[in-house]
Amino acid sequence: MDFAPRLAPSIHRVGTESAFEVLGRAQRLADAGRDIINLGIGQPDFRTPDHIVEAGVKALRDGAHGYTPANGLPALRRAVAADLEARHGAPVDPDCVVVVPGGKPTMFFAMLMFGEPGAEILYPNPGFPIYESAIRYSGATPVAVPLTADNGFALDADAVLDRITPATRLIVLNSPANPTGGVTPKDQIDRLVSGLEAHPHVAILSDEIYSRMLYGGRTHTSLLTYPQIRNRLILLDGWSKTYAMTGWRLGYAVWPEALVEHAVRLCINDHSCVNAAAQHAGIAALTGPQTAVDEMMAAFDARRRAIVERLNALPGVTCTDAAGAFYAFPDIRGTGLGARTLQDRLLEEAGVATVAGTSFGAHGEGYLRLSYANSLDNIHTALDRIAEFLETRAP
């Protein structure tokens, strides 16, 4: 007899991250012999620096094969606290640091803690798709805070404050941002934090996973530096992007004291702990030389300048100066093609993988995300192909 699963309705509310689907399609085309340049996936194309890999290998050789404390090795949590203090100048208690497998679990945990039917959670749109997906899964109502190209996709504090209601439980912030590369300037964060004083019931999840990836002399303002909101701030960061460690599955959050216990319980229920060798590698990353990070950033910056210039030279395309992360988010409305159509046709006809802006929310229509985590040569070849496509085949 056929199995007719009686699923909880919430499972049908889970969304996805289309970049992974594009990656799968690009891989299938490449396996079939097509030459595909991948500007779709959001991961550094660099290898994890050698000294970090060696620390992981050594940990395995030395017998780090068992469980660790659910919140992470004490030495790793101390290293995280020291790194945050050094970078942001804000004190961090290692006991408030919870190490998790990547950046994503913290989002999910925050939504599980705050989301339920009737609750509202604010999130950036276009934004990282897992925010909206996890909010919907929790049963809460996602309230989009639109980001627009006119201010380089920076968050507008008033756009957030205007959307707060008595039902608002949590607001999600992300700077530097995926998919736009937008960076929220300090004056907007100041304004937001002072506006939040009138809303003491609202918690904040600040996703700062790209906090070391800014260009053109811009600086990062961490929400950690505002003592007045520390008792309701969840700070998300990790190793994936900064140290080219996406596959190691290593991230962390600094939780407010009142929530640490709940976060650790969710870890125990969900994954017990992060694998021990990855945690040892994480210590080496934070405490070892940072030259590889600086070299990666210099390479990203050169690519960023090249891709923005090339995009602005395309017919029907304009692109803001991408300020952070490693994404360009051009306005493609002048091409006469919708975001999804252009994504699909560029993949099929030009052999270039990109991600439609609509994969990041309804406000992403008319935009395309190109990740410049690829070599300069490949970026130029991809842009040659896109130019040829737009000049000869579109719409």
Alpha carbon distances (Å) from 233 to 172, 258, 276, 339: 10, 11, 27, 35
Nearest to ligand PLP of 115, 282 (CB atom):
282
Return the number of the residue (247 or 315) whose C-beta is nearest ligand PLP: 247
Binding mask 111-130 for ligand PLP (x = CB under 6 A): -----------------x--
Residue 215 contacts residue 183 (beta carbons within 8 Å): no
CB of 144 to ligand PLP, least distance (A): 16
The window from 31-39, 101-109, 259-267, 368-376 that contacts ligand PLP (CB under 6 A) reads 101-109
User: Given the rule CB under 6 A, which of 25-33, 98-106, 262-270, 299-307 is the region that contacts ligand PLP?
Assistant: 98-106
| Cα→Cα distances 55→240, 283, 291, Å | 16, 8, 17
246 binds ligand PLP (CB under 6 A): yes
**Of residues 45 and 207, the one with the C-beta less far from ligand PLP:** 207
User: Residue 245 CB, nearest distance to ligand PLP (Å)?
Assistant: 8
Q: Single out the residue of 44, 103, 142, 324 in contact with ligand PLP (rule: CB under 6 A).
A: 103
Are 22 and 41 a contacting pair, CB within 8 Å? Answer: yes
Compute the least distance from the CB of residue 118 to ligand PLP, in Å: 27
Cα Rg for the chain, rounded, in angstroms?
Answer: 21
Q: Do residues 286 and 146 lie in contact, with contact meaning Cβ atoms separated by under 8 Å? A: no
Q: Which helix (H) or strand (E) is 369 found in, with range?
A: strand 368-371
Q: Does 374 engage in binding with ligand PLP (CB under 6 A)?
A: no
Helix residue ranges per DSSP H, the chain: 18-31, 50-61, 74-88, 104-114, 129-138, 157-161, 186-196, 257-270, 276-287, 291-312, 339-345, 376-392
Q: What DSSP character marks residue 47?
A: P
Residues 142-181 that bind ligand PLP (CB under 6 A): 174, 178
| Residue 209 interacts with ligand PLP (CB under 6 A): yes or no | yes
Question: Measuring CA to CA, how many Å separate 263 from each of 76, 94, 253?
Answer: 17, 14, 9
**Considering only residues 247-286, where is the footprint of ligand PLP by CB under 6 A?**
251
Using CB under 6 A as the criterion, which residues of the chain lie in contact with ligand PLP when the complex forms?
42, 102-104, 128, 174, 178, 207, 209, 238, 240, 246, 251
